[in-house]
Chains A and B, each alone.
Chain A
Amino acid sequence: MRKRVLQSGLIALGLFWLTSAGVLVAPAEETISFRRDVAPILVDNCLPCHGAKKAESGYRVDTYERLMAEGDSGAAGFVPKDTDGSEAFRRMVSDDPAERMPWEADPLPPEKIEIVRRWIEQGARYDGEDPKALLTSIIPPPVYPKGPEKYAFPVPVTALAWNADGNELYSSGYHEICVWNPVDGALLRRIENVPQRTMALALSPDGQLLAVGGGSPGRLGEVRIYETGSGQLERVLVSTTDVVLDVAFSPKGDRLAVAGADNILRIIEVATGKEILTITSHSDWVTAVAWNQDGTQLASASRDKTAKVFDVEKGELLVTYSGHNQPVRGVAFHPDGKQVYSSGADNKIHRWNIADGKKAAEASLGGEVYRLVVCGDMLVATSADRTARLYKLDNLEQIRSLSGHGDWVLSAAAHSASRRLATGAFNGEVRVWNLDNGELVKSFVASPGL
Chain B
Amino acid sequence: MRTAGWVTTVWMLGWVAQGALAEPAFPVERLEVYPQQFSLVGPYAGVQLVVTAYGKDGRLRDVTRECGYQIDEPSIVRVERGWVSPVADGSARIVVEWEGSRAEAVIQVTQANESERVSFTYGTLVALTKHGCNSGACHGSPSGKGGFRLSLRAFDPALDQVTLIREEFGRRINPFDPEESLLLRKPTMKLPHGGGLRLTAHDPAYRLLRDWIGQGGQLDPQQQPACVRLEVFPASGRVLHLPEASQQLAVWAHFSDGSVRDVTPLASFSSSDESVAEVDERGLVVGHNRGEAAILIRYADQMETCFLTFLKEVEGFTWNDPPQYNYIDEIVDAKLKKLHFLPSELAGDEEFLRRVYLDVVGHLPSVEEVRAFLADPDPQKRSRLIDQLLERPEFARYWALRWGDILRLTVGQVGADGVYKYHRWLEQAWAQNMPYDQFARELLGAAGGTLTHPPANFYRTTADENDCVEAVAQIFLGARLQCAKCHNHPFEKWTQDNYYGMAAFFNRVKKKPAARPGELLVYVARTGEVVQPRTGRQMKPWLPGRGEIDVELVDRRQAFIDWLTAPDNPLFARVEVNRIWSYLFGRGIVDPPDDFRESNPPAHEELLEALARDFVQHGFDRKHIIRTILNSRIYQTTFRPNPWNEEDEKYFSHQQPRMLSAEQLLDAICFVTGVPEKFGPLPAGTLATHLPAPDLVKHEFLKIFGQPERQTVCACERTTESNLGMAIQFFNGPLIYEKLRDEKNRFRVLASAGHTDEEIVTELYLAALCRMPSAEELQAAMEHVAAKRKQFEDERTSIEQQLAELSRQMEAVRQGVAERVRQHKFNQVPEPLRDDLKKALDKSPDERNDIERYLVDKLGNLITVSQEEINTAITDEEKQKIKELSEQSEKLRAALPAESAYRMVALEDICWAILNTNEFLFQH
CB of B170 within 8 Å of the partner chain: yes
Instruction: For chain A, residues 26 to 62, give those with C-beta under 8 angstroms from any C-beta of chain B.
Output: 44-45, 47-49, 51, 53-54
In the complex, are the beta carbons of B188 and A218 less than 8 A apart?
A: no
Cβ-closest chain A residue relative to B214: A152
Among candidates A51, A153, A408, residue contacting B175 with C-beta atoms closer than 8 Å: A153
CB of A303 within 8 Å of the partner chain: yes
Among candidates A105, A196, A216, residue contacting B188 with C-beta atoms closer than 8 Å: A105
In the complex, are the beta carbons of A105 and B200 less than 8 A apart?
A: yes
> Chain A's nearest CB lies how many Å from the CB of B206?
12
A243 to B192, CA, bound (A): 15
CB of B201 within 8 Å of the partner chain: yes
CB of A321 within 8 Å of the partner chain: no
CB of B182 within 8 Å of the partner chain: yes
A158 to B188, CA, bound (A): 28
In the complex, are the beta carbons of B169 and A44 less than 8 A apart?
A: no
Contact with A along B875-889 (1 / 0, CB 8 A): 000000000000000
A196 to B171, CA, bound (A): 11
CB of B185 within 8 Å of the partner chain: yes
- A199-B169, A426-B166 given as contacts; is B216 within 8 A of A153 (CB)? yes
A106 to B200, CA, bound (A): 9
CB of A217 within 8 Å of the partner chain: yes
Task: List A contacts of B171 (CB < 8 A).
Answer: 217, 243
Among candidates B169, B176, B201, residue contacting A410 with C-beta atoms closer than 8 Å: B169
Task: List B contacts of A174 (CB < 8 A).
Answer: 176
> Chain A's nearest CB lies how many Å from the CB of B162?
10
In the complex, are the beta carbons of A218 and B185 less than 8 A apart?
A: yes
Instruction: For chain A, residues 111 to 156, give those with C-beta under 8 angstroms from any C-beta of chain B.
Output: 148, 152-153, 155-156
In the complex, are the beta carbons of B176 and A152 less than 8 A apart?
A: yes
> Chain A's nearest CB lies how many Å from the CB of B552?
39
In the complex, are the beta carbons of A103 and B172 less than 8 A apart?
A: no
> Chain B's nearest CB lies how many Å from the CB of A49?
6
In the complex, are the beta carbons of B176 and A48 less than 8 A apart?
A: no
CB of A104 within 8 Å of the partner chain: yes
CB of B110 within 8 Å of the partner chain: no
CB of A442 within 8 Å of the partner chain: no
A218 to B168, CA, bound (A): 12
Task: List A contacts of B175 (CB < 8 A).
Answer: 152-153
A218 to B193, CA, bound (A): 10
Contact with B along A363-381 (1 / 0, CB 8 A): 0000000000000000000
- A51-B192, A156-B169, A217-B171 given as contacts; is B197 within 8 A of A105 (CB)? yes
In the complex, are the beta carbons of B193 and A196 less than 8 A apart?
A: no
- A105-B197, A303-B147 given as contacts; is B169 within 8 A of A54 (CB)? no
- A153-B176, A153-B216, A218-B185 given as contacts; is B169 within 8 A of A48 (CB)? no
Task: List B contacts of A45 (CB < 8 A).
Answer: 190
A303 to B171, CA, bound (A): 15
In the complex, are the beta carbons of A158 and B169 less than 8 A apart?
A: yes
Among candidates B172, B190, B201, B216, residue contacting A48 with C-beta atoms closer than 8 Å: B190
CB of B174 within 8 Å of the partner chain: yes
In the complex, are the beta carbons of B189 and A48 less than 8 A apart?
A: yes
> Chain A's nearest CB lies how many Å from the CB of B161?
13
In the complex, are the beta carbons of A218 and B176 less than 8 A apart?
A: no
> Chain B's nearest CB lies how many Å from the CB of A244?
13
CB of A338 within 8 Å of the partner chain: no
The SS class assigned to the A binding surface is loop
Cβ-closest chain B residue relative to A159: B169
> Chain B's nearest CB lies how many Å from the CB of A406?
14
Among candidates B170, B176, B177, B189, residue contacting A49 with C-beta atoms closer than 8 Å: B189
A303 to B383, CA, bound (A): 73
Contact with B along A280-322 (1 / 0, CB 8 A): 0000100000000000000000010000000000000000000
CB of A419 within 8 Å of the partner chain: no
> Chain B's nearest CB lies how many Å from the CB of A306?
16
> Chain A's nearest CB lies how many Å from the CB of B823?
97
Task: List A contacts of B188 (CB < 8 A).
Answer: 105
CB of B742 within 8 Å of the partner chain: no
A186 to B216, CA, bound (A): 25
Among candidates A47, A103, A148, residue contacting B176 with C-beta atoms closer than 8 Å: A148
> Chain A's nearest CB lies how many Å from the CB of B205?
16
Cβ-closest chain B residue relative to A50: B192
CB of B273 within 8 Å of the partner chain: no
- A47-B192, A105-B188 given as contacts; is B174 within 8 A of A196 (CB)? yes
Instruction: For chain B, residues 191 to 216, give those with C-beta under 8 angstroms from any C-beta of chain A.
Output: 191-194, 197, 200-201, 216
> Chain A's nearest CB lies how many Å from the CB of B215?
9
Task: List B contacts of A104 (CB < 8 A).
Answer: 197, 200
Cβ-closest chain B residue relative to A157: B169
CB of A219 within 8 Å of the partner chain: yes
Task: List B contacts of A231 (CB < 8 A).
Answer: none
Task: List B contacts of A185 (CB < 8 A).
Answer: none
In the complex, are the beta carbons of A48 and B191 less than 8 A apart?
A: yes
> Chain A's nearest CB lies how many Å from the CB of B177?
8
In the complex, are the beta carbons of A103 and B197 less than 8 A apart?
A: yes
A408 to B167, CA, bound (A): 11
In the complex, are the beta carbons of A54 and B176 less than 8 A apart?
A: no
CB of B186 within 8 Å of the partner chain: yes
Cβ-closest chain A residue relative to B174: A196
A48 to B196, CA, bound (A): 9
Instruction: For chain A, residues 91 to 109, give those with C-beta under 8 angstroms from any C-beta of chain B.
Output: 102-106
A327 to B207, CA, bound (A): 34
> Chain B's nearest CB lies how many Å from the CB of A330?
13
CB of B180 within 8 Å of the partner chain: yes
In the complex, are the beta carbons of A217 and B201 less than 8 A apart?
A: no
Cβ-closest chain B residue relative to A51: B192
- A156-B169, A303-B147, A410-B169 given as contacts; is B174 within 8 A of A44 (CB)? no
- A104-B200, A105-B200, A148-B176 given as contacts; is B170 within 8 A of A156 (CB)? yes
> Chain A's nearest CB lies how many Å from the CB of B594?
40
A153 to B215, CA, bound (A): 9
Among candidates A106, A153, A217, residue contacting B182 with C-beta atoms closer than 8 Å: A217
Task: List A contacts of B174 (CB < 8 A).
Answer: 196, 217
> Chain A's nearest CB lies how many Å from the CB of B915?
56
A51 to B828, CA, bound (A): 114
> Chain B's nearest CB lies how many Å from the CB of A285?
8
Q: Could you list some 20 contacts between A and B, CB below 8 A?
A: A47-B192, A48-B189, A48-B190, A48-B193, A53-B192, A53-B194, A102-B189, A104-B200, A105-B197, A152-B216, A153-B175, A153-B216, A155-B176, A156-B170, A199-B169, A217-B172, A217-B174, A217-B182, A219-B185, A426-B166
Q: Which 10 A-B pairs have the closest CB atoms?
A: A48-B192, A153-B216, A53-B192, A217-B171, A218-B191, A153-B175, A217-B182, A48-B189, A174-B176, A218-B182
Chain B positions near chain A (C-beta within 8 angstroms): 147, 166, 169-172, 174-177, 180, 182, 185-186, 188-194, 197, 200-201, 216
Q: A196-B174, A218-B182 are in contact. List 18 more A-B contacts (CB 8 A).
A: A47-B192, A48-B189, A48-B190, A49-B192, A54-B192, A103-B197, A104-B197, A155-B176, A156-B169, A196-B180, A217-B174, A217-B182, A219-B185, A243-B171, A284-B147, A303-B147, A410-B169, A426-B166
